[in-house]
Amino acid sequence: MLSPEQVRTILQQTGAIQEGHFLLSSGLHSPLYIQCARVFQHPRQAERLGRAMAELFAGEPVDVVISPAVGGIVTGQEVARAMGVRAIFAEREDGIMRLRRGFRIEAGERILVVDDVMTRGGSVRETLRVVQESAGQAVGVAVVVDRSGGDLDWEVDLRSLMRIEAVTYRPEDCPLCRDNLPVIKPGSRKQETP
């Protein structure tokens, strides 16, 4: 199992931890961004993180790993490989998270939801809804980095490889905006209203 310090080192060495002025997919602003795509471009590191995430749910029966597109796809694939189960992903169609590309969840299948970084949990909640609507049984949520501050309520067990306390600001309250620092939108999803 990787310790949170080891995970942080991997993220730092691959340039996944970034500092600046970022517009998060939640619509919030932050001086810190975790770009897991930078670590997942390195297959050996991706495999290590996927194996460690699978260990978070060792002993739990899991039939399928599902992740939200785009950020969670590689993460989910690596966790599923480590668990020896099927990997699928949900993606937005007309703004709604759905199963596409012939992916299916059979009634009663035990599903682990996997994502890379979670701040407000929007993509994870949408993916859990897909599981419930498909009559799957969500056994938990695993993320590489939890930056939610522990403020989110879940009906399932949430486990992460590491937690980062990262400040976020509503755009109208953002000191980085007041200082006229250019804002970077690194995520793959259209921003929501916070």
In a domain, 61, yes or no: yes
How many angstroms separate the CA atoms of 95 and 6, rounded? 36
Whether residue 39 contacts residue 72, with contact meaning beta carbons closer than 8 Å, is answered with no
How many angstroms separate the CA atoms of 57 and 44, rounded? 21
In a domain, 169, yes or no: no
> For each of the chain's 194 residues, which pLDDT tens digit applies?
899 999 999 999 999 999 999 998 778 899 999 999 999 999 999 999 999 999 999 999 999 999 999 889 999 999 999 999 999 999 999 989 999 999 999 999 999 999 999 888 889 999 999 999 999 999 999 999 998 877 777 788 999 999 998 888 999 999 999 999 999 988 655 544 43
Whether residue 115 contacts residue 25, with contact meaning beta carbons closer than 8 Å, is answered with no
How many angstroms separate the CA atoms of 21 and 183, rounded? 5
Token digits of residue 41: 């471009």
The amino acid sitting at 41 is Q
In a domain, 5, yes or no: no
In a domain, 33, yes or no: no
Alpha helices in the chain (DSSP H): 4-13, 37-40, 43-56, 73-83, 122-133, 175-178
Whether residue 185 contacts residue 23, with contact meaning beta carbons closer than 8 Å, is answered with yes
Range of the domain at 59: 42-164
**How many structural domains is the chain composed of?**
1
CATH of the domain at 143: 3.40.50.2020
How many angstroms separate the CA atoms of 126 and 53, rounded? 20
In a domain, 172, yes or no: no
Whole-prediction pTM value?
0.87
In a domain, 55, yes or no: yes
In a domain, 30, yes or no: no
- Cβ within 8 Å of residue 165, ≥6 positions away: 147, 149
In a domain, 46, yes or no: yes
- Cβ within 8 Å of residue 91, ≥6 positions away: 68, 69, 70, 97, 98, 100
